[in-house]
Chain A
Amino acid sequence: EDKVVQSPLSLVVHEGDTVTLNCSYEVTNFRSLLWYKQEKKAPTFLFMLTSSGIEKKSGRLSSILDKKELFSILNITATQTGDSAVYLCAVRGGSEKLVFGKGTKLTVNP
């Protein structure tokens, strides 16, 4: 069965800190790994990493994929209070199914 494990489950930091969120996975016939940010409502898409795109960056957020060691990290630099959210990692194997980890709840205090 496909499995996604995120760590830590929660994290409290101060504005300006840099954080690293972890995601490890076991999936049959890996196709992609996705990061989402969820505040009060729907998850919003951040990055998709595949065999042909193992590193992504957008502003203060960046992510890498290590296909050999089966993990990904999401980095957020110079955190702001608006970064407070649950960050979800999800993987796709050989089917349409997207399997989510339990998420990391990030709280950024002023």
Chain B
Amino acid sequence: DTEVTQTPKHLVMGMTNKKSLKCEQHMGHRAMYWYKQKAKKPPELMFVYSYEKLSINESVPSRFSPECPNSSLLNLHLHALQPEDSALYLCASSQGFPGELFFGEGSRLTVL
């Protein structure tokens, strides 16, 4: 089972809303990632969790707050977002280093 599942698939929110994106993998992977992808651009790394600890934060604004409750779950909490934060948010996991990343189908976020 090489599946990373993300919910919701689509999310529309206002600038004052608080919402969360969720990601789950059951492959026993030790590292999980959040990427942001704008239209016609490559994915940009936001956060990396390794063994449930935040190992990389690519200077992401604090309105994005990651959380890794356990080794299978990864959340991205959203608060006071801006319209320019509208994008496809991709979750990924990997077994080891420097192994391949497996991506979920993404959550398409629209901020009004």
Which residues on A are within 8 Å of B, measured CB to CB?
31-32, 34, 36, 41-45, 48, 50, 88, 92, 95-103
Chain A residue nearest to B102 (CB atoms) is: A45
Would B101 and A97 count as touching, CB distance under 8 A?
Answer: no
Would B48 and A96 count as touching, CB distance under 8 A?
Answer: yes
- Residues of A near B104 (CB, < 8 A) are 42
B42 interface residue (CB < 8 Å to A) = yes
- Residues of B near A44 (CB, < 8 A) are 103
- Residues of A near B33 (CB, < 8 A) are 96, 98
0/1 interface trace, chain B 97-112, chain A, CB 8 Å (1 if under): 1111111111000000
Provide 11 A-B residue pairs closer than 8 Å at the C-beta atoms, listed in order of the A residue: A36-B103, A42-B103, A42-B105, A42-B106, A43-B43, A88-B43, A95-B56, A96-B48, A96-B50, A96-B55, A97-B48
B36 to chain A, nearest CB (A): 12
Give the CA-CA distance A96 to B42 in the complex, in Å: 17
B29 to chain A, nearest CB (A): 12
Give the CA-CA distance A42 to B48 in the complex, in Å: 18
- Residues of B near A101 (CB, < 8 A) are 42
- Residues of A near B101 (CB, < 8 A) are 34, 45, 98
A91 to chain B, nearest CB (A): 9
- Residues of B near A31 (CB, < 8 A) are 97-98
A68 to chain B, nearest CB (A): 19
Give the CA-CA distance A95 to B97 in the complex, in Å: 8
Centre residue among A34, A88, A99, A100 by max chain B CB count within 10 A: A100
Give the CA-CA distance A45 to B102 in the complex, in Å: 7
Give the CA-CA distance A19 to B86 in the complex, in Å: 34
0/1 interface trace, chain B 3-40, chain A, CB 8 Å (1 if under): 00000000000000000000000000001010000000
- Residues of B near A88 (CB, < 8 A) are 42-43
B90 interface residue (CB < 8 Å to A) = yes
User: Contacts A36-B103, A103-B42 given; 4 further ones with Cβ under 8 A?
Assistant: A44-B103, A45-B100, A97-B48, A98-B33
